[in-house]
Amino acid sequence: MYQTLLVTTENKTCIITLNRPDKLNALNQTLLSELKAAFTQALADSEVKSIIITGAGEKAFAAGADIQEFVGLDAQQASNLANNGHIIFGMIENSPKPVVAAVNGFALGGGCELAMACHLRIASENAKFGQPEVKLGLIPGYGGTQRLVQYIGKTKALELILTTDMITANDAYILGLVNYVVPQHELLNKCKEILAKIHAQSPNAVYLAIKSVNAYFDDNKNGFEEEIKNFGQCFTHNDFKEGVSAFLEKRKPNF
Ligand code: COA
């Protein structure tokens, strides 16, 4: 039982709902540690094939880190706080199971950063994205200066971070920040529809594909070498035998 999350599992998808709607689902430390725990549990649960992260209510996915918790922090405490967020968001980004952000409203600051740590982002039409930290005398601290550049390029990333402008879901789509924009009442169904396609694939290959794509952005790895290694690894797994047999036998694979 969590104080700040709702967690349910439907059709092999764990849905984690950030549940502080009166604070626009702002990410306080309790929520972040509960998110880490719920996520760890979803990864360990063999009945769970994928994860959706969304926000409670119709207004916000998450309106950022909880600003109230910043009061009185010194530099070291603030760096520790940022580091903690990096660990959790890194865990999401490197998850072997696909993770979709169902962005149902404001995704600001840490909320935008959380959505960016997920593998796919589906936005409702009312969603708004932004990194407003410099307005507070801060910079993005949960990966925003890096992942926003990765997704939309330096030109627009710097504009959004420096002006603190919020962008609409449609603009986020045009910039390549989100995969789809749908009416709010269709948001979860759209996520589930995409995940149903992924559930039909080899979980091992899905994991190795995520790992290989992520290697592109990892300075400590050569992405091409990582791909070669992971390609070879596919051949050691039963999913490969099943996938190829199913193709040759003209049937659907059963992973
Ligand atoms: N941290 C803590 N509390 C937050 C919050 C945050 N990041 N974002 C919103 N809240 C709280 C508000 O303080 C308010 O609480 P209250 O009712 O106890 O006063 C409640 O959530 C509702 O927000 P409110 O500002 O009244 O809603 P709004 O519709 O007028 O404005 C926003 C919505 C998103 C524009 C506005 O809440 C906002 O600018 N939030 C901060 C965004 C931000 O700077 N994020 C980066 C943080 S590093």
Ligand 1 pocket test, pick from 4, 18, 24, 73 with the greatest ligand atom count within 8 Å of Cβ, gives 24
Give all domains of the chain, ordered by start, each with its CATH number.
Answer: 5-198 (3.90.226.10), 201-248 (no CATH)
Q: Give pLDDT, residue 22.
A: 98
pLDDT at 221: 96
Walking along the chain (255 residues) 10 residues at a time, the average pLDDT comes out as 97 98 98 98 98 98 97 97 98 98 98 98 98 98 98 98 98 98 98 98 98 96 98 97 97 96
Q: DSSP of the chain, one letter per residue?
A: --SSEEEEEETTEEEEEE--GGGTT-B-HHHHHHHHHHHHHHHH-TT--EEEEEESSSSEEE-SB-GGGGTT--HHHHHHHHHHHHHHHHHHHT-SS-EEEEE-SEEETHHHHHHHHSSEEEEETT-EEE--GGGGT----SSHHHHHHHHHHHHHHHHHHHH---EEHHHHHHHTS-SEEE-GGGHHHHHHHHHHHHHTS-HHHHHHHHHHHHHTT-TTS-HHHHHHHHHHHHTTSHHHHHHHHHHHTTS----
pTM of the model: 0.98
pLDDT at 33: 98
What pLDDT does residue 119 have?
Answer: 98
For ligand 1, atom 6, the nearest C-alpha belongs to 66
Return the pLDDT at 81.
97
Is the CB–ligand 1 distance for residue 106 below 6 Å? yes
pLDDT of residue 83: 97
Q: Give me the pLDDT at residue 51, please.
A: 98
